[in-house]
Amino acid sequence: MNRLFKKMFVDIWKLKAQFISIFLMCFVGILIYTGIEGVWNGMQNQIQKYYIESNLADFWINGIDFSESQVSEILNLEDVINVEKVAIVNANIENDFDTEVRLIVKESNEISKPYKVDGEKYINSKTGIWLSSSYAKTLNINVNDKVTLRYGDSIIKASVLGIVYGPEYVSYIGSSSSIMPNPSKFTYAYVSKDILEALSGSLKYNQMGLTLKESCDKSKLKTEIRNVCKSNYIGSFDRTEYAGVSNYINKVEQIKKMSIMFSAVFLLLALLTIQTTMKRIVNKQRTQIGILKALGFYSWQIELHYSLYGLIISSLGAVAGYFTAPYTVTPQLLNLQKEFYDVPFWKGETSKISIILIMAMISVCTFTAHKACKKVVKELPVYSLRDENSRYGKKLFIENFNVFWNNISFEWKWTLRDVFQNKSRTIIGVIGVLGSLTLLMASFGIQDSVKKVNQNIYGNQYSYYKKIGISNISDEEKGNAESILQGDFQWISEGNAEVRSKSRVKTCAMNIIDNGYYFTITNLNGSVISLPNDGIVISETLAKELGVSENEEIKIYELSKNYVVRIDKIISINTPQAIFIASAYWEKIGGVFMPTSLLVGNNSNIVDIENENYSKDVHLLDFQLKEADDVLRSIKAIIFMLIAAAVLLSVVILYNLGLLSYTERSREYATLRVLGFYNSELKSLIFKDSVFTIIIGLMFGIPCGVQFLKIYVGAVSTSTINYFAYLSVVSFAIALTITIGCSLAVCYLVSRKVKSIDMVEALKSIE
């Protein structure tokens, strides 16, 4: 057996290109999967840990000045475990950015407890402020520093007692018009009771955080809460509806789906390549197996020997990938996420799936090697010592088309017969090209799709110059603003409402839109949807969640009122996934249209409006588009990694196959050299073989790429943004160029080997 071990290492060295390719496929396959799994699994586990530690609420009720009796009644509801009153007031911190700050007072600090990073633990009775970690870091504020808070005309200086993370504010963007966190513009902070009371003049609890039993029926709970809170009720949200929490969950899901889908395709292709390569390596050792048998080695020794080929190489590759990922891919990608989320714990963590995947990969390699050698080991040595004579010519069906067949060169005849004779090799080559193009199209396409959707939203759907956040505007102020803007404006109200369908209750976004052309609802086809005056329009994603169809009636709850409305149209829209109502219709059915935003064009009088008390914040459309594109950064690294993997996949598969094909034909090439073929003619022969594979691969790769992109984009869509598949001509051309370029480059590398053909080999017998 020792000799066999030695032989194995000699063989591995001799066939290093093939073994390196198997090593690389195992390494990269596991590296990518484990690397990205480390990110989403780590994010998922760490957030769970954080949520458990902070006792994050399962449910939130927003309202106006909840009374003690209401809190007690909520606590007595069947599914409720605990309740905590929270007072929230939006104020400002006086600094260069005039940061809008959400000030929070927690009554008992038992639910959704802030996580302390520095300073003291939050206690609502101790005078001071606990700033969010992201804000403190951005503005370089430390414990014991002082900040000045402003609420209307009231100004208070508060001492910073601690730096914290708020578990409910993992992704706090502050305004519905913001796209990504900007702590200098919007932040949150916990304050003592006395500070909030002194600042706002009173302490009114307007939120309740609830912890629930696992078996809780949330639709039922919403109804019960509404009945308890009555006119104090505004809305209620579970974790999937509460933006500060759900954005993070959505992102984890997005990364998870992206990595699983890509890895599944990559690993499938890798396993296919490994299987083919292992089989061919063992088959090439056919005569050696015969010799070993003739020498008296037992079958099990030979089988073990060749199984070890697969076992050792795949184990080395897979294990190396597994241990490299946590130090390379995972931390790089996690660092990118840190920018977007306020979470105290960041740690990459792999799951059992990685281990299962490694075992599967090693098993496939070992099993393939074993299976291939078992077939030969079963034969009598006299047969295995003979050449298998696998390379036999065979007439093809297309040869019956004489006009075609008689007019093609012998090179093409040779190539075509070779292609059809070695079907599995051809199929793997085609799959290599197809797989590479599919993955590249998906990787480029996901970027294009996100960008296209952003352009569609901040360009077609919203076409204003500025969006001014409005609060508590009076009719008189509204009239004045309209006259200042001379008709160049549009009022909209963006809020949440509880919607009840026949089967479900859900808190969802509701947009009430006034006349104007700065917010045009466009569906995914780009066609403009006009809002009816006798019904509402609802987005497809939301319609699915509510289980409703067109012309069905739903009930909208807003404050203490409810409205029964007919669904006029269900539309596919990128975002928001909401209910859209014309302001005129809303008022017709008895609602009060209270705009939350004013959309304006590039008007010189805007400054006058911005300076009014009702103006909260201002967002430039261009900046919103930039912010939306910036979100791409969080997935861009993943996309680039996937592109690199796709390129590596095609290079490894094609180089490997090219090399195997070249080795199998080397005697024929040597003969042709002896007969007087120039190197260039032999190279052209090798190219023809590859060209066929490339063309077929591309023919199938393009439709596969389109389909995969559609599925891929569908998978990364979230409950708030619905992406559609889009691949720009430039991206398609790049994907095509990379695939063809890699294929040709590999072909060139393989064809260079003709220079070193040993013609004397042609004169020797076949070993």
Partner 1 sequence: MNAIEFINVTKEYEIGNNSIKAVDNISFSIEAGEITVILGPSGSGKSTTLNLIGGMDRVSNGTVKVLGSTISDFSDRKLTEYRRKNIGFVFQFYNLIPNLNAYENVDLSRKLGKNPLDAKEMIKAVGLENRMKHFPAEMSGGELQRLSIARALCKNSDILLCDEPTGALDSNTGQMVLEVLQEMAKEYNKTVIIVTHNANIAKCASNVIRIKDGTIQENFINENPLSVSEVIW
In the complex, which residues of this chain contact partner 1 (CB under 8 A)? 389, 391-395, 410, 413-414, 417-418, 421, 667-668, 671-679, 759-760, 762-766
By C-beta, is 65 or 388 nearer to partner 1?
Answer: 388
Q: How far is the CB of 747 from partner 1 (least distance, A)?
A: 19
By C-beta, is 67 or 409 nearer to partner 1?
Answer: 409
By C-beta, is 265 or 670 nearer to partner 1?
Answer: 670
Give the integer Cα–Cα distance in Å for 49 and 648.
37
> 191 near 128, Cβ under 8 Å?
yes
Q: Which residue is listed with tokens 């090798």?
A: 686
The secondary element (H helix, E strand) that includes residue 466 is: strand 466-470
Q: How far is the CB of 424 from partner 1 (least distance, A)?
A: 16
Q: Which two tokens stand for residue 294?
A: 């003739």
Q: How far is the CB of 389 from partner 1 (least distance, A)?
A: 7
Q: How far is the CB of 332 from partner 1 (least distance, A)?
A: 48
Q: How far is the CB of 446 from partner 1 (least distance, A)?
A: 43
By C-beta, is 472 or 756 nearer to partner 1?
Answer: 756
By C-beta, is 79 or 689 nearer to partner 1?
Answer: 689
> Which of 444, 465, 429, 450 lies closest to 690, judged by CA?
429
Cβ neighbours for 652, distance < 8 A, ≥ 6 positions apart:
21, 24, 25, 273
By C-beta, is 65 or 387 nearer to partner 1?
Answer: 387
Q: How far is the CB of 647 from partner 1 (least distance, A)?
A: 32
Q: Which two tokens stand for residue 432?
A: 């290599």
Q: In 11-145, which ranges are E strands? A: 59-63, 80-93, 99-106, 115-119, 129-132
By C-beta, is 1 or 766 nearer to partner 1?
Answer: 766
**CA angle at residue 166 from 163 to 167, to 5 degrees?**
145
296: left (phi over 0), alpha (psi -120 to 50) or beta: left
Q: How far is the CB of 685 from partner 1 (least distance, A)?
A: 11
Q: How far is the CB of 346 from partner 1 (least distance, A)?
A: 58
Helices (H), 285-409: 286-295, 299-324, 329-338, 352-378, 381-384, 402-405
By C-beta, is 408 or 644 nearer to partner 1?
Answer: 408
Strands 521-522 and 207-212: unpaired
By C-beta, is 593 or 677 nearer to partner 1?
Answer: 677
> Which of 623, 316, 615, 283 lies closest to 470, judged by CA?
615
Half-sphere exposure of 42 (CA within 13 A, CB side): 24
Q: Which two tokens stand for residue 300?
A: 């099990």
> 590 near 581, Cβ under 8 Å?
no
Q: How far is the CB of 672 from partner 1 (least distance, A)?
A: 8
